[in-house]
Amino acid sequence: PAAPSAGRPAAPALEASPLRGQTVKMPRIRKLIGDNMMRALHDQAQLSTVVEVDVTRIMRLRARAKDAFAQREGVKLSPMPFFVKAAVQALKAHPVVNARINEDEGTISYFDTENVGIAVDTEKGLMTPVIKGAGDLNIAGIARKTAELADKVRSNKITPDEVSGATFTISNTGSRGALFDTIIVPPNQVAILGLGATVKRPTVVDHPELGETIAVRHMTYLTLSYDHRLVDGADAARYLGAVKALLEAGEFESEIGL
C-alpha cells in the first residue's frame, strides 16, 4: 500500500474481536454496574450542564514541573490532580453539589468532607475507587492517592472500603479523546463531574497590549450531571463557574514545587 503522506497519521490496524458472533454470560461486575446505573436513572431527575475552560496555564505549569515532581513525589504529574483540586475547592463553597437526599427521612445531608470517587477504566469494567478526604489534600497528595488506588484496581487488590463512601465523583471521559459526555450521577450522590479531552485550538483572548486577538490555547469541556430534585441549573452553573475560575487562574505553583 502507498505510504501515508508526510504529516498525516497512518490509519490504525484494527483486528476483529473474538467476541464477534458470540453469546456469553454477562459478567457479575458488568451486571452490578448496569443495575446501579439503571437505579440511578430511575430514582433521580438527571440533566447536564457544560462549560468550556482554558487550561493553558495548567498545562504550562505541568510541563515545567513534571520531571522534578516525579523525582520528588514518586508519581507522574498528570493534569488530573489539578482538576480534582479545583473541583474539591469549589465543593466547599457549593455544598449543594456535595450532598445526599435521604429518601426515607425526607432530609438532605450536606457533607463536611469531600470523598471523591475517581472512575477507572479496567478490563472487567468501570470501577470507582474513592479518595477519602480529598478536600484536605494538596496536588501531590491527590496525585499519590490517585495512582495508588488506580494500581490497586488494576491489580485486583482494591478493598470494599476503598470503593465506597463517595460523596461526589469525577470521570475523566476525555482520557480516550471524548470532548464531553453526558455522564450518569451515581446512586446516593447528587452530582458527577466529567472531564473532556484537552485539545489545542484557536481561541479569542484579551491581550493586555493587543486587545482581542486569536491565540492557540489548551481548551477543555467540563460537564456536570446532577440530580435536579436538589441541584438547580443555576447551582450547577455557579459550581462550574467556580471550578473554571480556579483552573484558569492556575495558582498552584507552591503545591507543585515551582
**Residue-level pLDDT at 12:** 85
3 state SS for 142-188: HHHHHHHHHHHHHCCCCCHHHHCCCCEEEECHHHHCCCCCCCCCCCC
Residue of higher predicted confidence among 213 and 124: 213
Which of 83-92, 129-138, 170-179 has the lowest average pLDDT? 170-179
Q: Look at residue 65 and tell me whether its pLDDT is greater than 60.
A: yes
| Dist CA 99 CA 32 (whole Å) | 23
Half-sphere exposure of 2 (CA within 13 A, CB side): 4
**Percent of the chain topping pLDDT 90:** 73
Residues 6+ apart with CB under 8 A from 251: none
| Dist CA 193 CA 82 (whole Å) | 14
Which residue reads 476503598 in cell numbers? 162
- Which residues does the annotation mark as catalytic? 228, 232
Instruction: Give residue-wise pLDDT tens across range 4-47.
Output: 566 788 888 889 989 889 999 988 888 888 898 899 999 999 99
Average pLDDT score, the chain: 92
Secondary structure element (H or E) that encloses residue 83, with its range: helix 80-93
Supply the CATH classification number for the domain 28-252: 3.30.559.10
Sign of CA dihedral 81, 177, 60, 65: positive
> What DSSP character marks residue 21?
T
Domain coordinates of the chain in residue numbers?
28-252
207 confidence band (pLDDT: 50, 70, 90): confident
Q: Look at residue 3 and tell me whether its pLDDT is greater than 80.
A: no
